[in-house]
A and B are shown apart, each in its own frame.
Chain A
Amino acid sequence: MKKEKKCITCIVCPIGCKIYYTIEGNNFELIEGNKCKRGVEYARSEALDPRRMLTTSVLVKNGEWPLVSVKSNKPVPKKLIFKVLQKIKTLSVNAPIKSGQIIIKNVEGSNIDFIATKTIKVIKDN
């Protein structure tokens, strides 16, 4: 396994320190660049286990809106993002939907749930 030298721009606060580090397998070593501890933590998590909060939409049946917006209940590992999104694209859920309602549990074995972020009533027949 090769030791790679990398640099990322920290986004924890708007200063945007350029943090230099090396990564070899699961070994993270800070070189220099951060102005605070949070920056090191950010760099480490980005290097070893980058995750992102995901937000997207799910098809709704019989609702006032055709889509309900959803979010992951915790950050999703970057490498799983598109697999998770693909799965979510296949789902549909019936109205009424309450904000906070779990739409799908443990997506693709990730241990991450997606919850509705909007309340959607059943469509009125006019």
Chain B
Amino acid sequence: MRNFQVAIVGGGVIGSAIAWELSKYNINVVVFEKGSDVASGTSKANSGVIHSGINSAPDSLKAFYCVKGNQMLHSISKKIGLEVKWIGKYVIAKDERELNELKRLKKVGIKNNVPDLKIVNSDKVNEKNVNCKSALWVPTAGIVSPYEFTIALAENAAENNVKFLLETQVKNIKKTSNNFIISTNKGEYKSDILVNAAGLNCKDIVSMVEEPDFNVYPCRGEYLVLDKNYSSLVNSMIYPVPVKELGVLGVHITPTIEGNIILGPSAEFIEDPDDKKTTKNMMKSLLEEAKEIIPKIPDKAVINAYSGVRCKLASEKEGGWADFRIQESKKNPNMINLLGIESPGLTAAPAIAEDIKKMISKKIKIKPKQKFKTAEPKMKRFQDMTKKQQTELIKKDQRWGRIVCRCEHITEAEVIKALKNPIGAKTLSAVKYRCRAGMGRCQGGFCTQHIVRIMEEQFKINFKNITLKSPESNIFYRRNREEKQ
């Protein structure tokens, strides 16, 4: 099937949210994702924060979609089986000047309809390990796992017949009088409507159809991850007042859904949008700045580092701030562009998706599906189940009794479930992001051999095609001893 009504370029959180929204209707939707899984780009490597809206300029699309998305997440998370923790945020001030900043932030928040903001003195800050004089308490801020969010949206959309084409990169687009002919590395497709949710590649996609009137400025953010053993250091997110000095990162301290703490991000404008390296300098700065806020963080607490790249529409010289651009192309109105979706993009996703659906409903007739498959409530992990539940599962399928991830006690059955995902992602990372095998202390030391075995035996994947995260990231080179026929 190569003809669609809506083609979405990009399987990040925005593309997946739009796909999910559209999957409720009787229309043919396809998502082209050049990576080997959804959430391959910015969507997987960010802070996972559900923002309140205090950080966005009043009257901006960012503020509007952030606040709306924040509200929508309460119900949507239940619908797609996503865990959200509404842990709140303290923006902390260490002196009088910064306290004035807090007051300004509060005013912005009120303008943006952010409820329940409160400025408190340090004695009322419910964080005994944090140094500050006063703080702005933002109770409506929450945390999610950003890749879990994207995967939950995408998989429910796929269960409702949205076609996800992985490892499929859009190379060329031809606009005809009534549709788009989309050439990919896996052949040609046709679609009436084109949704450009290609993130860092959004300009490339626009350029295939018309002359872009904007530039993309990739901005890398590095993070440090702290061991779960230190999760009790903070209860809520801790942000310093937004910085104006050069060379100061203004590092954020964010608990994660899993119980780690992440420090970051930094903000470095770079040339190459795929340059997701971590650097020694940033790692050092992040830890140093974090220690100023929470002196108790020991050096050995750091267990991992990663980075993500934001799609900015304003250069460093221009101040690096621009609003979301979400609009139909003037020349080609059936192409809807979502440009510059950086923070608070994750939070805004469901609200943006709703508006995209509205835009599309004005172009083509859409009818709600009679039978929409709601997402199954997220199954508890084996290690979180009651002994009775565990016993019953093992009786039904003995693969629930085979632990293959030592650190997180993940079972063979959970790995198999992850590999059976409706998106069709079959990399080691696809397993990791769905069931956590490989994310513990030993970083795959025990589970990798089992995941490989399961891929070979139960999914008949040739060992040469077992990859980490993308087609070229193979794990093996060849057999040690070749089996002769």
Contacts and interface: CB of A to CB of B under 8 A. Distances in A.
B178 interface: no
A116 B484 CA distance: 20
A59 B484 CA distance: 10
A58 B480 CA distance: 9
Contact of B483 (A57, A58, A59, A89): A59
B365 interface: no
A59 B480 CA distance: 9
Interface in A57-80: 57-59, 66-67
Interface string A37-67: 0000000000000000000011100000011
A75 B484 CA distance: 29
Nearest to B481: A59
Nearest to B484: A92
A65 to B, nearest CB: 12
Contacts of B481: 57-59, 66-67, 89, 92
Interface residues of A, number: 7
Contacts, number: 14
Main DSSP-derived SS at the A contact region = strand
Interface of B: 480-484
A80 B129 CA distance: 66
Given A59-B484, A67-B480, 12 more contacts: A57-B480, A57-B481, A58-B481, A59-B481, A59-B482, A59-B483, A66-B481, A66-B483, A67-B481, A89-B481, A92-B481, A92-B484
- Among A57, A59, A67, chain B packs the most CB atoms within 10 A around the CB of A59
B166 to A, nearest CB: 31
Contacts of B483: 59, 66
Nearest to B482: A59
14 contacts: A57-B480, A57-B481, A58-B481, A59-B481, A59-B482, A59-B483, A59-B484, A66-B481, A66-B483, A67-B480, A67-B481, A89-B481, A92-B481, A92-B484
A76 to B, nearest CB: 19
Contacts of A92: 481, 484
Contacts of A59: 481-484
B398 to A, nearest CB: 11
A58 B484 CA distance: 13
Contacts of B480: 57, 67
B303 to A, nearest CB: 33
- Interface pairs A-B: 5 shortest CB-CB: A59-B481, A67-B481, A57-B480, A57-B481, A89-B481
A22 B246 CA distance: 67
